[in-house]
Amino acid sequence: MHLIIAEKHDAAKRIAQILAGISPKVNRISGVEAFSFEDVVVMGLSGHIVGVDYPPGYNNWQKVDYRDLIRAEVITTPTQERIISALKKLGKEADHITIATDYDREGELIGVEALRIAREVNPGLPADRVRYSAITKEEIQKAFAKPEEVDFDLAASGEARQVVDLVWGAALTRFISITSGRLGKEFLSVGRVQSPTLALIVDREKEIQAFVARPYWEILADLEKDVQVSHAKGRIWDEAEVKGILDRMGPEGLIEAIDVKSREDKPPAPFDTTSFISAASGIGFSAANAMRIAEGLYTNGFISYPRTDNTVYPPSIDLVALASLFLQGPFKEEAERLLKGPMIPSRGKRATTDHPPIYPTSLASKGELKDDQWKIYELVVRRFFATLSERCKWEIINLKVRIGEEPFRARGARLVEPGWRYYYPYSKAEERILPELQKGERLLVLDRKVLSKETQPPARYGQGRLIKLMDELGLGTKSTRHDIISKLYARAYVQGNPLRPTNTANAVVDALERYAPTITKPEMTRLLEEEMTQIAERKVKEDKVIEESRDMLNSVFDDLLGHKEEIETSLRDGLRVDKIVGKCQSCGSELIIRRSRRGGRFIGCSGYPNCTFTLPLPRQGGVIVTEKICDLHGLYHIRIINKGKRPWDLGCPHCNFLEWQARKADVPKEAALVDIRGLGPKSLEKLEAAGVKTPEDLLKTSPEDLADRSGISAKKIVEWQGIARANQKPRKDSPPEEAGQASI
């Protein structure tokens, strides 16, 4: 039996369909779907099915010293038991195995992990590797026609990264968390890539806070024929000079010169991962969401592999044939126009041999994709068209005007040939049309304007810009950068987009930059990344790189332990600020986020026990105190972060509690949805909008139907129905515990 291993279930299904030519038979092995035809079985993994970890004895944070983790044994542990069981069963029967996981460092490691498990039960099992950049019929058939060898060195470089990241992350995270007193679910994570990335955000915020605005003025004049000109000096820093200019201006403007030039804009380079994420960010997608959608489009054969550093199309891609695919469908007019041109592809600065740039691989209709999928697919299609198009041509007019004794100017721009901009509307460039004018012509001054302005601080990093900066500094890889940013949100280190650091982030970075700056600088991370690449190139051994990283970490701990008391003071002082919600309306003391003896969270008064004012908080998720303040209660708004979910803006915690009380008062006690544990205010709103207002309504509704109407998962609805049934039994009433459900 020939066993083929794909990285994910959907990829396995599509590969099996292409190779079989018909719908393959679906079998379940250990609860895992596999696809078979003739003597071939295609099985999908779920990414990594094993992971690296320490032996169980090292998991006790209180008994194991963090420095002991640096040279502790690292073991491989199973993370997907069912898939491993299925792989062993199929591997035992196989006489040949083909690794068909994604072609990059991570994909090679995932494939080698699967191969090792299969060879545990079938030693010496022959193996080969197929590599492809798109899951299309042509690409898959070509890849399987010429299988290659498994690249164990490339997999070793990925394995080295896992070990290095585990050792650095575990040891540093444990040190910072224990030193700061932030344990349990609120631990403070520190990472080899995460921390220098966070330092970029915090340092930019410091620049913004330290920025001192400088006032300046601009002088504009409105002339006849709808011409507006600005003073040639641009920014004028002395207000007295503004008055002098105004005094020297006359009643009319003399056109001294009209300079007409042509300008061309080159087409954009093909998408690599970094430029794709940046472009997707410009149309409202987070880095992680853009990559998730792109990976789904790749798996279903609509676009090429989205993890690539390449910005040059290889000669093997028939660009004309590819563009011709779109002569039908929603891009028909664009394709017809494109195919009439010379179609000379643009080139970026990087050309690699693993994967081509991101490009569309097949035609899709808007109806077969979800809205977000279509937006990303359209972005890729239009970028592909733009890279094959001609230059955009402009006519630029520079106008010099003398008003009295003062020089003024205007600049006009007229689009002559849209070129690539016809296909790619995301890169906007506005025309500024000037009327027909003659040198020596005089125009009356209709109005004079003085604009008072201030210099602006540097802008915060948006996700797209941050990804670009990480790429430039060598922080992370094309496959990991968006995950790093997601972790910063999940750890409540940043909020919003552009990214703004929380007080927790400021406290952690300040302590590290002061006492162990190596952790916050990109140089160390870049060096390790280069060495991991050398593993793949067979220039250095995996063990040597791991050992060097441990030596680096040891030197970092020399700094940390030499300043442990100062770090503890710095962290605890900084972290306390992030827990302050505002002033207590009862006594004027600070309201602070606290934990109860049972582990629950609440907002309590620092004046306790003299003042017992409290407000409730959700049990789950990270709590971020934002900068927005409630006009009514003077409290900072709260945001709740749950991994894999959209942030929940709870708002003012006092307003939230009062709203819950009002809703509860409107419903009879014996028929209150709010009594269902785990059902918070946002879910209540969704249920009520779907027509479910009482536990009885909930119990007589189909979970699947209600899920479609409310957007809540059917699994969660079934769970609430079980609680509602239990609540129907006589029970002693107890105070509510969920968000917005506690008493003051």
Q: Catalogue the active-site residues.
A: 305
Q: In DSSP terms, which residues pair with 604 in a beta bridge? A: 592, 614
3-state helix vs strand vs coil in the chain, percent to 5: 45, 20, 35
d(C-alpha 696, C-alpha 53), whole Å: 48
d(C-alpha 517, C-alpha 684), whole Å: 47
How many CB atoms within 10 Å of residue 419? 21
d(C-alpha 368, C-alpha 293), whole Å: 14
3-state secondary structure of 573: helix
d(C-alpha 537, C-alpha 151), whole Å: 10
Write the burial class of residue 635 (CB in 10 Å: 0-12 exposed, 13-18 middle, 19+ buried).
buried
Q: In DSSP terms, which residues pair with 358 in a beta bridge? A: 271
Which ranges in 564-627 belong to alpha helices (H)?
A: 564-577
CB 737 within 8 A of CB 619: yes
CB 624 within 8 A of CB 641: yes
CB 237 within 8 A of CB 219: no
Q: What are the contacts of 210-215 at 24+ separation with CB within 8 A?
A: 211/457, 211/458, 213/454, 213/455, 213/456, 213/457, 214/454, 214/455, 215/239, 215/452, 215/453, 215/454
CB 682 within 8 A of CB 659: no
How many CB atoms within 10 Å of residue 425? 10
Total residues belonging to the chain: 744
Query: Looking at this protein, which amino acid is placed at residue 520?
Result: T
- The maximal CA–CA distance of the chain, rounded, in angstroms, is 95
Give the DSSP H/E element, type plus range, for residue 504. helix 503-515
d(C-alpha 612, C-alpha 722), whole Å: 35
Give the DSSP H/E element, type plus range, for residue 141. helix 137-145
Round to the nearest angstrom and report the end-to-end CA distance of the chain: 68
3-state secondary structure of 42: strand
- In order of 148, 462, 541, 601, the CA distances from 105 in angstroms are 16, 27, 16, 42
d(C-alpha 490, C-alpha 501), whole Å: 13
CA 610 and chain centroid, separation: 45
Residue 720 has φ and ψ, to the nearest 5°, of -65, -35
d(C-alpha 728, C-alpha 599), whole Å: 28
d(C-alpha 352, C-alpha 708), whole Å: 45
Q: In 430-564, where do the E strands start and end? A: 442-454, 494-495, 500-501
> Could you tell me which residues come within 8 angstroms of residue 702 by beta carbon, excluding any fewer than 6 positions away?
none
- In order of 524, 613, 614, 682, 685, the CA distances from 663 in angstroms are 55, 22, 20, 12, 10
Structure tokens, 423: 């296909």
Closest among 120, 200, 105, 239 to 162, alpha carbons compared: 105
Structure tokens, 405: 């004794």
Number of alpha carbons in the 13 Å side-chain half-sphere of residue 662: 6
CB 624 within 8 A of CB 639: yes
> Could you tell me which residues come within 8 angstroms of residue 631 by beta carbon, excluding any fewer than 6 positions away?
none
Which ranges in 287-439 belong to alpha helices (H)?
A: 287-299, 319-324, 332-339, 371-387
